Structure formats: C-alpha cells, structure tokens
Chains A and B, each alone.
Chain A
C-alpha cells in the first residue's frame, strides 16, 4: 500500500495548490501507515515541496511533456503507480488533473471520487465526503475497488507543514502517442486565474457596462485577486466566458469572495457557496445574496469600491 500525489506545474514550478494536495497525501499516508510519493513533471526545483512531508519525489524531465496532454500524463501516472505499488492516487482540483483523472481511473481500474473536501472518515470501506448538487449539498462516497483515486476540491483542506528529506528518484517513463495535437494556446501569462486565487473579486449586472470594470480590476489588483462575473455579464459580452462563475460556470472555492452588484440568484450562489468568506456590496438591501454572505454593505458600487480600494491599499502598505 502506498500513496501517490501528482502535482501540476506552471513554468516549471509547482502550482500553488501543490501544498494542499501533498499535505492531504501525507495525512492519508499516516492514516494508512504507508509511504508518500510525489510525482513531478518538468519541475526544476522541488525543495519547497519537502515542507509537506514526501518520502519520495519522482522527478520526470522530458521536453516532449512541456505541453500538457491528458492522455500522455494519465499514462505516465499509471506507469508510476504500477512501478511503485501505489494503492491511492491523490490529485488536485485543477482543470488538467480533472481532465486526466477519469482516463487514469480506467487504466488503473480504480474507483474515482472527485471534489473531495476531507480526509476519509473510514478506511473500510474507504469513505470520503465530497460536494454534490453544485455545492448545494455534500455526500459521503465510498470506493469499493482495491485501487483508489480522489481529487481534492481546491482550498478545502489547507496545507500542513511536516518537513521531510525525501529520496529523489529520476523517473523515465515511456511517453505514449496521443491523437491530439495542440494548434495554438492563448493564455494570459501573468493573470491570476480563478482556480489559483485565494481571493476573487466578482461583479454583476449592477456594474451597468463593461466600461465600468476599471474599479473591479483595481480592487482585484490591490488584493492580488482574480476577477470573475455573473452569467449575464459574460452572456452580454462585457467579460470573457472564462470569468463566468456559478452552477453553469466555474465553481469558486476561495478564501474570500467579494460580490459586487450581483443579486445572488440560486444558480450563482450554487457555484460560489464553498468559498469560505463572502462579502456582498449591493444597493438593494433585499438582494438575496445578503442571506448567503458573511459581511454585507448596502451601498453603490461606484462609491464604495473605489473607497474600499484606497483603504485596502493603505492597509496593505502598512501590513507588508
């Protein structure tokens, strides 16, 4: 029995949520009294991972893997799992990991549970809690097959320091052919994405038009936050579709979600309810979002947001 954690990378560095999946893997390995192995693909410098307690780090360096390909990556994780007698594979909630996970599940003949928010409550049968009904509820799911895969919902577990001195193993997998060829990639390099962000600043139709998003972007900038929006805002073309959050858009599970000029329709709330702390700024004291938030301000976004931004800037200057 052994636990394998696969971490995603960006620009040859571990993605921020790596700390969380490794911490989870460590706690699980402790519960199972087994080793924790971390698999990295094209990550140059891995010492920061040692903080979270891996026993082994499998390092793959291969230029043909610089472009993410779910099929190839799933196969590599499968090879690593076989070679190192892995029983449990842990993935994060990023789009790439969730893309490869179901393929890996079939190869590995493993039961797979996604959107997991906690350590197993039971090991026999292996039972974990996950979100369901687009965050409107939770459920306990059991994996009844020998091999198990779970993906952790971002920001649900946090990170725990548990320093170790792992054995570093150079791993040279066989890279399979994939039928998919990347034609082009169009991605904002330095932008903070919703999935990576600790804070999300989100705005709705209350902002009246795309020309007014300057105050939202400035506030996001001050907080190091990603920007997001409600569905009508992306439907109207005011903001890109990739910013649409909610039941039919992206789920948001950040530490802080600031909703500005968003009414709080049930479909919007469904997608953001697993965020820890929610702040609502709205002119209408009856807006349903106030019932689902932690802190509320009744006020006009065009007055409140710039003022809040100034004050936050001063606060950040003092506290950094």
Chain B
C-alpha cells in the first residue's frame, strides 16, 4: 500500500497572531511552525499502517523552504520520503491542484489529509483533491481500517457518527479519533538521525491560476469590560441576559 500524507505547516497553537506589511501578511516573527494538529493524527495513523502492513508513506507540503524543518520532523516520525512543492500556499484550489497532479503521477492507494488547517481553516484541500482525482472522500474522519483494498471509515456528524465503506483509492480529512492524542508519535533520537538520510525532494510546479486571494487581516475587536455578578445575585444575571444581551 502506498500512502501520501498531506502536511500543512501551521503556527503552534499558542502563537500570538500578529500581522505585518500593512496587515496583509501573517507575522512569522518568533512563531514556531508545527505539523497541523489534524495532520499529526493522520501521520501517526499512516505509521501504524506502515508497521502493520509495511505501507510506504510519503509526506507532501505545498510551501516555501522554511517548511523543510517541519517536513524533516515528519521524516523523523517515520515517513519514508518528503516532497515539497515550492510555492507559497495562498489559494486552496492551487494547493489542491499541485497535490492532485503529483498524486496522479505516483498512484497512491490512500491519501491522508486533515479536516482543516488551523491557520486558514478552509476545510477545502482534501475535498478538492478527491474531485480532481475522482476518488472517494471521507472528511471529519475519526476512524479508519483497511482490509484487502476496502476501507471502513468513520465520519463524525452532528450529534453522532456514520460508518462508511469504500474501495481504495480514498482520501480522508482526518482529526482526533483517527488515533488518540496519547498515541501520537513523536520523533526519537534514532528517527532524527535516520531522517537526515531520507530524501526531501523539492518540486517546481507549473503555474496554476489562483481563484481566491487573501487581502487583509483584522484583529478581533477589543472585548468590552466584563460584568461581574455576585453568585448570590443570579436574578441579575438572568435580567442582563434577557434585557441587555437579549439572548434568553
């Protein structure tokens, strides 16, 4: 089985979100980039397929050179090969096209992406890839088993879960549940040493036209002062929620 894991490199969840260049760009100053949490679950799931069935696992990112350290980390976790498509990722359609084009030439049985990236929050790239490759797609995926070329995938839905079956190839948008947090693989010394020898290939893409642009960022409005209410005066809370906030 050949698996491709899509890795989006995102600011660490505790990062301060600031902008530069007249608020047109994210300020990367002092920010640590990490594997998108949803992709981290997928990468560990891929490692299990590797350990159990000897699957070959490649990781791919569309981005600039600064992402190489995150790709190296994926190799240290156990991926066999890393690919970086050298283009600043600004439009999901373009990102999906680059990945789909690469995947088409290298026929993967399974593509693992995340439900969403925590920086752009698009929930777009995997669904687009599925349509470009005309393969099955399960998003919000919280469980995946594969046997004899057939996948059983669980999808989280509003208020429950759905179990779906399909033939490979398949692409998923994974999230927590795919593996548990306590099972997430972290690089060990041996992995880090081995990663240095593994290939990290940079591919120059042929230009694909973008369909969207991101122009300007805004910070949330400053919160108004909180109103503190004495715990003996709950009638006041109800009154404020009813008459001031008008939410009950």
Contacts and interface: CB of A to CB of B under 8 A. Distances in A.
Contacts of A141: 212-215
B13 A266 contact: yes
Contact of A308 (B119, B127, B234): B234
A155 to B, nearest CB: 11
Contacts of A140: 214-216, 218
Contacts of A184: 162-163
A112 B122 CA distance: 9
Interface stretch (A21-29, A45-53, A55-63, A125-133): A125-133
Given A105-B128, A303-B231, A311-B235, A98 B123 contact: yes
B220 A94 contact: no
Given A103-B131, A115-B121, A139-B215, A181 B226 contact: no
Contact of B227 (A191, A294, A307): A294
Interface string A263-277: 000110010010011
B237 A295 contact: yes
Interface in A209-234: 223
Contact of A256 (B26, B121, B248): B248
Given A294-B226, A298-B228, A311-B235, A181 B247 contact: no
Contacts of A115: 121
A184 B165 CA distance: 10
A106 B19 CA distance: 31
B218 A138 contact: yes
A96 to B, nearest CB: 8
Identify whether the interface residues of A are mostly helix, strand, loop, or mixed: mixed
A241 B181 CA distance: 12
A241 B156 contact: yes
B29 to A, nearest CB: 15
B14 interface: yes
Interface string B53-89: 0000000000000000000000000000000000000
Contact of A188 (B13, B159, B216): B159
B160 A188 contact: yes
A301 B11 CA distance: 34
Interface stretch (B1-9, B137-145, B200-208): B137-145
A114 B124 contact: yes
Interface stretch (B43-51, B104-112, B185-193, B238-246): B238-246
Contact of B166 (A74, A179, A187, A293): A179
Nearest to B138: A180
**Range of interface residues on A (Cβ < 8 Å):** 35 or more
Contacts of B216: 139-140
Nearest to B156: A242
B224 interface: yes
Contact of A183 (B165, B234, B245, B247): B165
A144 to B, nearest CB: 6
Interface in A264-317: 266-267, 270, 273, 276-277, 279, 290-300, 303-304, 307-308, 311-312, 315
Contact of B212 (A106, A111, A199, A298): A111
Contacts of A131: 121
**Residue in B11, B121, B142, B181 whose Cβ sees the most chain A Cβ within 10 Å:** B121
21 contacts: A101-B123, A101-B127, A102-B124, A102-B128, A103-B128, A107-B131, A179-B136, A179-B167, A180-B138, A187-B161, A193-B159, A199-B247, A241-B142, A247-B118, A279-B237, A290-B228, A295-B228, A295-B241, A307-B234, A308-B237, A319-B242
Given A95-B158, A184-B163, A255-B247, 9 more contacts: A101-B123, A125-B213, A180-B164, A188-B160, A235-B182, A291-B223, A295-B245, A296-B227, A304-B231
Interface of A: 70-71, 74, 94-96, 98-103, 105-107, 110-115, 125, 127, 129, 131-145, 178-188, 191, 193-196, 198-199, 223, 235, 241-242, 244, 247-249, 255-256, 266-267, 270, 273, 276-277, 279, 290-300, 303-304, 307-308, 311-312, 315, 319
